[in-house]
């Protein structure tokens, strides 16, 4: 199999990338015949932290998050440009601003984003109630925020809403629901997973963004899409999530398309929960990545 690069931003949920690596993610990928080139440029982001980074409205740490994402975007772009599959291990979901900016710089308007999450992460600076940028990345990528947050003027909002699909939603803010409705963005919540089963949901999701299955796919996987009983060590757990198998099925089905060009695995937080919860979460994170990168059950 081809080459993969692992990018590891430290921001937010600091210790997760190291934990996944310690747990053997790289070795596991070698066993699947990937050549792994690790990119540690963002393992320590502290040098990017500006001396002064006052809140922008209620948005916290705008310049720091922007600076980390700008570096990440260039690293992902460079790996994708070499034809490598780029895996970004987070870190919180704000890093998708950078990772998707990087992949879309190479693949352009063809790039499909499959966003697996309990949350829509599509708040704008106007709608966010928390001020946390991990709740806003999609709004940046679609250009719903342009020019409003200091540091982010480099973001080219070229993701098309027709090329975005969600799976697993169940905790969507009122303002986000309005945006999803107004923009006509396709989303499969847990209600649809219950109703149709994960097999049909993934098929319908891919039919929407990638009907011929010939376009490049960026999979952005937030572990909180999984039920907290499956992935407990995460910052914003929501009950009623994907089962272990449903989460893996999504990754397997995307692997089967042969079109995966980039993946994010985000929101594993080693500071939350006991040692057992952490091991369980790290293990499931590693196995999701393996499935997306071609591991099969038989």
Q: Which does 128 bind (CB under 5 to 8 A by kind): Mn ion, ligand ARG, none?
A: ligand ARG
Least distance to Mn ion from the beta carbon of 289, Å? 16
Least distance to ligand ARG from the beta carbon of 117, Å? 7
Please pick, from the candidates 61, 69, 70, 128, the single residue that binds ligand ARG as defined by CB under 6 A: 128
Cα–Cα nearest to 277, from 236, 233, 239? 233
Q: Which does 74 bind (CB under 5 to 8 A by kind): Mn ion, ligand ARG, none?
A: none
Distance between CA atoms of 234 and 226, rounded to whole angstroms?
Answer: 10
Cα–Cα nearest to 172, from 201, 138, 197? 138
**143 versus 175: smaller Cβ distance to ligand ARG:** 175
Least distance to Mn ion from the beta carbon of 52, Å? 23
Least distance to ligand ARG from the beta carbon of 155, Å? 17
Please pick, from the candidates 11, 26, 222, 264, the single residue that binds ligand ARG as defined by CB under 6 A: 222
Least distance to ligand ARG from the beta carbon of 132, Å? 5
- Residue that the structure tokens 């009983």 belong to: 229
CA 140 to chain centre: 14
Q: DSSP readout, 26-86?
A: HHHHHHTT-EEEEE-TTT--GGG--S----BTTB-SHHHHHHHHHHHHHHHHHHHHTTPEE
Residues 3-42, interacting with ligand ARG (CB under 6 A): none
**130 versus 287: smaller Cβ distance to ligand ARG:** 130
The span of 60-68, 73-81, 131-139, 140-148 binding ligand ARG (CB under 6 A) equals 131-139
**216 versus 228: smaller Cβ distance to ligand ARG:** 228
Sheet containing 186-189, strands listed edge to edge, beginning at the edge strand earlier in sequence: 35-39, 3-7, 85-89, 260-266, 217-222, 112-116, 164-169, 186-189
Please pick, from the candidates 21, 189, 236, 259, the single residue that binds ligand ARG as defined by CB under 6 A: 236
Distance between CA atoms of 98 and 198, rounded to whole angstroms?
Answer: 29
Q: Which residues are catalytic?
A: 93, 117, 119, 121, 134, 222, 224, 267
Please pick, from the candidates 173, 207, 256, 279, the single residue that binds ligand ARG as defined by CB under 6 A: 173
- Give the number of other CB atoms < 10 A from CB of residue 126: 11
CA 38 to chain centre: 18
CA atoms within 13 A on the CB side of 274: 1
List contacts with ligand ARG (CB under 6 A). 92-93, 119, 121, 123, 128, 130, 132, 134-135, 173, 222, 224, 235-236, 267
């Amino acid at each position: 199999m081809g080459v993969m690069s692992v990018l590891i931003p430290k921001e937010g949920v600091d210790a997760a990338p190291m934990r996944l690596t310690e747990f053997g993610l790289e070795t596991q990928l070698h066993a699947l015949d990937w050549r792994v080139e690790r990119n540690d440029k963002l393992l320590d982001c502290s040098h990017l932290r500006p001396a002064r980074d006052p809140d922008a409205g209620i948005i916290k740490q705008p310049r720091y998050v922007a600076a980390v994402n700008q570096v990440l975007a260039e690293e992902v772009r460079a790996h994708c440009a070499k034809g490598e599959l780029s895996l970004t291990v987070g870190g919180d979901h704000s890093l998708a601003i950078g990772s998707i900016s990087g992949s879309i710089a190479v693949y352009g308007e063809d790039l499909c984003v499959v966003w697996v999450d309990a949350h829509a992460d599509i708040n704008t600076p106007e709608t966010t109630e928390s001020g946390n940028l991990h709740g806003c990345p999609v709004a940046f990528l679609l250009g719903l925020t342009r020019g409003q947050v200091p540091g982010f003027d480099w973001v080219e909002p070229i993701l098309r809403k027709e090329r975005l699909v969600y799976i697993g939603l169940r905790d969507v803010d009122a303002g986000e629901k309005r945006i999803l409705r107004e923009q006509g963005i396709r989303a499969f919540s847990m209600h649809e997973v219950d109703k149709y089963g994960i097999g049909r949901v993934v098929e319908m999701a891919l039919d929407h963004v990638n009907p011929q299955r010939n376009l490049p796919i960026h999979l952005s996987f937030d572990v909180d899409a999984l039920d907290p009983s499956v992935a407990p060590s995460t910052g914003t757990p929501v009950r009623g999530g994907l089962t272990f198998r449903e989460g893996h099925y999504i990754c397997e089905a995307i692997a089967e398309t042969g079109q995966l060009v980039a993946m994010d695995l985000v929101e594993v937080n080693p500071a939350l929960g006991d040692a057992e919860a952490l091991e369980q979460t790290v293990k499931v994170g590693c196995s999701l990545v393996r499935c997306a990168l071609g591991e099969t059950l038989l």
